Amino acid sequence: MSKVKVSNFSISIDGFGSGKNQDLENPLGTGGMDLHKWIFATKTFQKMVGGEGGADGVDNRFMEKSFENVGCWIMGRNMFGPIRGDWTDEKWVGWWGSNPPFHAPVFVLTHHKREPLVMEGGTTFYFVTEGIQHIFEEAKTAANGKEIRISGGVSTIKQFLKAGYIDEMHLAVSPVFLGTGEDLFADIDISELGFNKIEKIEGENATHFIVMKDK
């Protein structure tokens, strides 16, 4: 059976997964890019964007691992792009260019229908309007026994947590305070959901927590 994981999800010390005022110029909101500095510094990220160099340490190992054994991905509409409401302009194909890094089916949770978007490298975006239970069943079929990764953002992760679908989370805590934005832990009791097994690993630019359910 497919395992459902959250990987490489960056939060601030005060628990925010993005800042406020998200738009085209600030896709992660005010200060949100600072959450991901640990990612930008890695060898894996630099290779993904056609760069050279980058650090090859603990942070990089987490980046590499997040792409292993993935059968499909799930993300929210806001993570796919800044457009709201009906898809009046279907020229928007995501933040990642013509060859996104997913290389597998990606299910986008949305309220507005859109035809599947086929990209280079094996990535196809499917826009699902029937809710998280339906998207979860679609993902299990597509994953074919491999892992299902919940990419984000905060709202999507919280919906899947509350539904009991997530088995494990990797949270990367960046050494910044945002003060406001989307709070991953607001109105949710992680311990009550069964996530009481925690591993802590210090990286070069973030502190990594693997949060698992008690068996």
Render pLDDT for 41-50 as a digit per residue (tens, 0 to 9).
999 999 988 8
- For range 115-143, the mean pLDDT: 96
- For range 116-143, the mean pLDDT: 96
Separation CA 108–CA 61 (nearest Å): 27
Q: Is the pLDDT higher at 29 or at 72? A: 72
Q: How many CB atoms lie within 10 A of CB 173?
A: 19
Separation CA 113–CA 4 (nearest Å): 25
Q: Per-residue pLDDT tens for 72-82?
A: 999 999 899 88
Separation CA 97–CA 4 (nearest Å): 26
What is the per-residue pLDDT for 215?
67
- Look up the pTM and report it: 0.94
Q: Is the pLDDT higher at 179 or at 27? A: 179
User: Domain 4-15+29-82+103-212 belongs to what architecture?
Assistant: 3-Layer(aba) Sandwich (3.40)
- For range 203-211, the mean pLDDT: 98
- For range 158-173, the mean pLDDT: 96
**How many Å separate Cα 186 from the centre of its chain?**
18
Mean pLDDT of all residues belonging to the chain: 94
DSSP secondary-structure letter at 181? Answer: S
What is the per-residue pLDDT for 115?
95
Q: Is the pLDDT of residue 131 over 80?
A: yes
Separation CA 125–CA 144 (nearest Å): 17
Dihedral over Cα of 89, 10, 137, 64: its sign: positive
What is the per-residue pLDDT for 214?
81
Q: Work out whether strand 168-173 and strand 207-212 pair parallel, antiparallel, or are unpaired.
A: antiparallel
CB 69 within 8 A of CB 86: no
Classified as helix, coil or strand, 10 is: strand
